[in-house]
Chains A and B, each alone.
Chain A
Amino acid sequence: MRRAWQRTVSEWVEGLRIALSSLAANHLRTFLTTLGIVIGVMTVIAIVAIIDGLNASFATQIGNLGTHTLYVDKWQWINTRDDWWSMRNRKNMGRTELEAIEREATEALAVAPMAGRSVTVAAGAEELSGIRCTGTNQRYLETGGGSVAAGRFLGPTDVELSRSVVVLGADVADRLFPKVALDEVLGKRVRVRGAPFTVIGVMARRGRMLGMDLDTNVTIPFTTFLRDMGGKRSITIAVTSAPGRLSQLEDELVGILRRARRVPPEKPDDFSMNRQDQFLKLYNQLTGALYGVAVGVGLITLVVGGIGIMNIMLVSVTERTREIGVRRALGARKRTILLQFLIESSVVAALGGAVGTGLGLGVAVFVALVSPLAAAVTPGAVALGLGFSALVGLLFGIWPAWRAANLDPVEALRYE
C-alpha cells in the first residue's frame, strides 16, 4: 500500500522532471508551440479584463439611480424605435399625477418630482451654458439624488413659497466660483436663465451616469421651476419604496396613475415605470454578447493552439520512441508513460497560459491608460486563463500520450 503510494509519487515527480528537462532542451520549439495558446489566452484575458472594468464603472454609474426607486415617466427609458412613436403621443406627466401619488401611495417612502431643462447659469462675468436644471422638492435626496457637500438642500418652505434658491452641482460651483471655498459659495447670487437665485447648497460630486455628467447641474424648487422655466414639460416622478417592496409599490402606482390619467380599463398603460435593474438587464445583455464573442475567439485560438501542442507532442513521442521502449523495459507501466506525456503537454500549455495571462493583463492595462475604457484585473480571469490552457494541453495531449503508452516495447527499442 505504502509502496504503491510512493510509486505514484515518484511517477509524478519523474513525469514532471522529464517534462521540464524536455522543454528546456527544446527552447525554440517550446516557445513556438505555446504561441497559439499565448495568443488565445492573451485575447480572452484582455477582453475579460476590459469588460470587468466596464462592469465596475457601470455599476458605480448606475448606482446614481436609486435601487428602490421607480421613475414614473411618460417615456420608457429603454425603448425601441417603434415604442418611441406611441410614447410621443402620450399625455404629459405633471402636477396632477404627482399630487395623486403623494396623496394615495401608501407604499411610497418618498416622492419627488423631477422637471428638467437645459439652462444657462451665470455669476458675474462667468457664464455656463448647457447646464441641466432640475426642479424638485425636499424629498429628492431620499430617492437617490445624491448628497449635499456644503450648505443645505431644498426645504419644504422653499418649495411652498417658490423661493428663488438653488443648489449647485459640484462642477458648476467649481467653474462659477473658482478658487472660492465651498462655504463661501453659499449665499452668492447667480442667474439661472437670467433670473436671480441665491445659492443655498453645493452637491457632493457624483460622477457620470450613462454618459450624463451629474455634476454639471443645478437644482431649484419644483414650484419655482414651473413658474420660471416653463410648466408645460412632462416631468418624471421618482418614488421610493421600502427595501424589497418595489413591486408592491409598482402595482399600487399603476392603479393610482390609471385613475389619475383616466385610462379606460381596456386600454394599456399610457405611462412607464423605469427602474435601475432595467438598465442592468440591458447592460448585461450587451456585455453578455461581448463576453460571448470573447469566449468564442478565445476558444478558437485555444483549439488552434491545442492542435499545435498535439502536433508537437506527436513529434516528441516519435523522437523519444527508444526512450519509451527503455522505460517500458525497465518497468514503467502504460499509464506511467501516459502520465509522463500528459504532464508534459499540460505544462507546455500552462506555461503558454501564464505568459498569455501576463500579456493579456498588460494589454488591458495599456488600453485602460490610453483610452477611457477601464480595465479590472480579477483573480477569476487569471485562474480561468491558466486553468483553461492547462485543460487544453491535457485534452490535446491525450492522443499523443496514448500512442506513446501503447508502443510495443520491443519495436520501440528497435526504433532507429
Chain B
Amino acid sequence: MGDPLISIDRLARHYSVGGEVVRALDGVSFDIQAGEWVAIVGQSGSGKSTLMNLLGCLDTATSGTYRLNGADVETLSDDQLADLRNKEIGFIFQTFQLLPRASALANVELPLVYRGISRKERRATAEQALRSVGLGNRMHHRPNELSGGQRQRVAIARALVGDPSLLLADEPTGNLDSQTGEEIIRLFGDLNARGHTIILVTHEPKLAARCPRAIKLMDGRVLGDGPGAEVAALQGPRAVGT
C-alpha cells in the first residue's frame, strides 16, 4: 500500500471548561488508506464527533499531527482548509446542519456555490444528488417541511454532491428507520465500491459489524481497531486492541 490518505499520530483535543481540562480526545493514532470504509464506534461522549471535526479540517488539534494526503493539515492556511473542505471532504453532521431558510435544493447546491460552478450546472448536479437519495419529489421543501429522515437524506445529498474523495458521516442513520438506514448504507457501499473513502460514526454494533474495519473509542482513546465484526463486539476497557 502507498501513502495513507489519513495519518494521525497521538492526536489530542482538550477543552478547558471552567478551569477543568476535558480530554475529549487524548492521543489517538491510526492510518486510513484511500478507499477504506471505516466505522468509528464508542459510547456517547467518547470523542467520536470531536475526532470527526478534526478529520474534517473543521477544528485544530491541541497536540499531535494529522496528515491528509501527505500534507500536514496544521501548516495549511485558512483558505486552503476551506478549499479542502469544499472539494475533498463531504461532511454529514450528527445534527444535519441544514440552512433553515433555504430549500432542499439550495442546501444541496451550497458546496457547489463555493466552488464557482455555474448556476445551471449546479442545479442539475444538486437535483441529481437529491434524486439519488430518493428526494426527487421534495426539492423545493424547506427543512422544516421535511421529516427527520428526509432532512438526513438532504444532508447526505449535500455531502455527496461535490463528489468528495473523503466522506465523513456522523451518525448518518441515527434518525432513519431501519429500511431507509439500510438504503443509505447500501449507498455508502456503492460509493465505497467506486473508490470513495468513508468514515462513519455509528452507535449500532450491527452496522459497525458490516464495515470492513472499525475503530472503537473510549474516553478519547482508541480501544480497538480491526475488522468491524471483531471491534463491534469489544466490551469495556479490559478488551485488548490490535
Residues of A within 8 A of B (CB): 3-11, 14, 21, 25, 322-323, 325-334, 336, 408-410, 413
Contact = CB atoms under 8 A, between A and B. Distances in A.
Nearest to B13: A410
Given A322-B97, A330-B86, A410-B53, A11 B78 contact: no
A410 B51 CA distance: 12
B210 interface: no
10 contacts: A8-B116, A325-B97, A328-B82, A329-B56, A329-B58, A330-B158, A333-B82, A409-B58, A410-B58, A413-B97
A25 to B, nearest CB: 7
Interface in B111-143: 111, 113-119
A330 B114 contact: yes
B177 interface: no
A334 B85 CA distance: 13
Interface residues of B, number: 27
Nearest to B118: A6
A7 B114 contact: yes
Nearest to B97: A326
Contact of A331 (B93, B101, B115): B115
B58 A323 contact: no
A330 B110 contact: yes
B182 interface: no
B117 A326 contact: no
A401 to B, nearest CB: 16
B91 A329 contact: yes
B114 to A, nearest CB: 4
Contacts of B58: 328-329, 409-410, 413
B99 to A, nearest CB: 6
B116 A9 contact: yes
A410 B54 CA distance: 10
B59 interface: yes
B87 interface: yes
A357 B58 CA distance: 45
Contact of A10 (B56, B86, B93, B116): B116
A329 B118 contact: no
Contacts of A21: 101
A410 B59 contact: yes
Given A331-B87, A333-B82, A14 B113 contact: yes
A25 B110 CA distance: 20
Contacts of A325: 97
Of A10, A327, A331, most B-chain CB atoms within 10 Å = A331
Contact of A332 (B82, B87, B117, B158): B82
Interface string B36-56: 000000000000000001001
Nearest to A2: B116
B111 A331 contact: yes
Interface string B79-120: 100110111000101000111010000000011011111110
A11 to B, nearest CB: 7
A329 B116 CA distance: 16
A333 B116 contact: no
Contacts of B85: 328-331
